[in-house]
Amino acid sequence: MRRKITGKISPWLVVLLLIAAVSGFYAAKVVFSEQDSQPEFAALKVYPQPKPLKGIHLVDKNGQPLSEEQLKGHWTLVFFGYTHCPDVCPTTLADMQALEKKIRQTGFTPPHVLFVSVDPERDQPQQLKQWIEFFNPDFQAATGSPEAIEAFTRQVGAAYFIGEHEPGDSNYPVDHTAAIFLLDPAGRLYGLFTSPHQLPDMAADLTKLAKKKPSGSGA
């Protein structure tokens, strides 16, 4: 005997279905509105998800510890190199000086700049301080033990290579990436600028970010 279906639906079930439909609509609206509101960048390559950084144990230009906590509360441009660099490092830091000026002219606060030396054997804090402040006294510089530098660069994805040399030899080559990495106000890896660096595009991208609070940045 076939059972007859009356076709009656509980009023409570109708209410629950309506609530689910409305909730799904607004959830989709939030997701797509966040994607639509993501600014388009001319030079900045943004990671799909910001990457938290932790376990940073560096020493800044004043001989003070620098950890991930000092990288929060502001956007930060991070560049790796060494003070004996004959071309890329001084050129890039001069570009950072010009970039800061361009952004200030728009009325927005430029990102902090952090130069990290991958050559701790020659670049002690005092050397770093004198060198970085030649470009801009507000720029920060740091280095650390070989292990601390390797741990930080591995998290960021920055490559470098120190040429073989005898202990005490002050004349040896260092190869390093020329990319500039961008950290968000939560201290996470947000994106990077590859070389060659186009200052007008970089300034435009960073100004867009200054106008927009990144989702979940904690800024």
Structure token digits, residue 42: 């001319």
Question: How much helix, strand and coil, in percent to the nearest 5, is found in the chain?
Answer: 40, 20, 40
- Asked if 160 contacts 89 with a C-beta cutoff of 8 angstroms, the reply is no
Cα–Cα distances (Å) from 160 to 52, 145, 174, 189, 207, in that order, read: 21, 15, 7, 18, 30
Q: What is the CATH number of domain 45-164+171-211?
A: 3.40.30.10
The answer to which of 17-31, 82-96, 147-161, 186-200 has the lowest mean pLDDT is: 17-31
Distance CA 194, CA 4 (A): 69
Query: 213: pLDDT confidence band, cut at 50, 70 and 90?
Result: low
Question: What contacts 158, CB < 8 A, 6 or more positions away?
Answer: 80, 176, 177, 179, 181
Distance CA 157, CA 180 (A): 11
Q: Where are the alpha helices (DSSP H) in the chain?
A: 11-37, 88-105, 125-135, 146-156, 199-211
Tell me the pLDDT tens digit for each residue of 97-146. 999 999 999 999 999 999 999 999 999 999 999 999 999 999 999 999 99
Q: Which residue has the higher pLDDT, 214 or 171?
A: 171
Query: 7: pLDDT confidence band, cut at 50, 70 and 90?
Result: very low
Q: Which residue has the higher pLDDT, 37 or 133?
A: 133
Tell me the pLDDT tens digit for each residue of 17-34. 333 333 333 333 333 333
Query: 217: pLDDT confidence band, cut at 50, 70 and 90?
Result: very low
- Phi/psi at 58 (5° precision): -110, 175
Residue 159: count other Cβ atoms within 10 Å of its Cβ: 13
- Asked if 76 contacts 185 with a C-beta cutoff of 8 angstroms, the reply is no
- Asked if 219 contacts 213 with a C-beta cutoff of 8 angstroms, the reply is yes
- Asked if 75 contacts 178 with a C-beta cutoff of 8 angstroms, the reply is no
Q: What is the predicted pLDDT for the residue at 35?
A: 38
Q: What is the predicted pLDDT for the residue at 34?
A: 38
Distance CA 128, CA 153 (A): 18
* Mean of the per-residue pLDDT values of the chain: 83
Sign of CA dihedral 199, 134, 78, 169: positive
Name the residue ranges covered by the structural domains of the chain: 10-39, 45-164+171-211
pLDDT at 14 over 70: no
Distance CA 97, CA 92 (A): 9
- Asked if 52 contacts 188 with a C-beta cutoff of 8 angstroms, the reply is yes
66: left (phi over 0), alpha (psi -120 to 50) or beta: beta
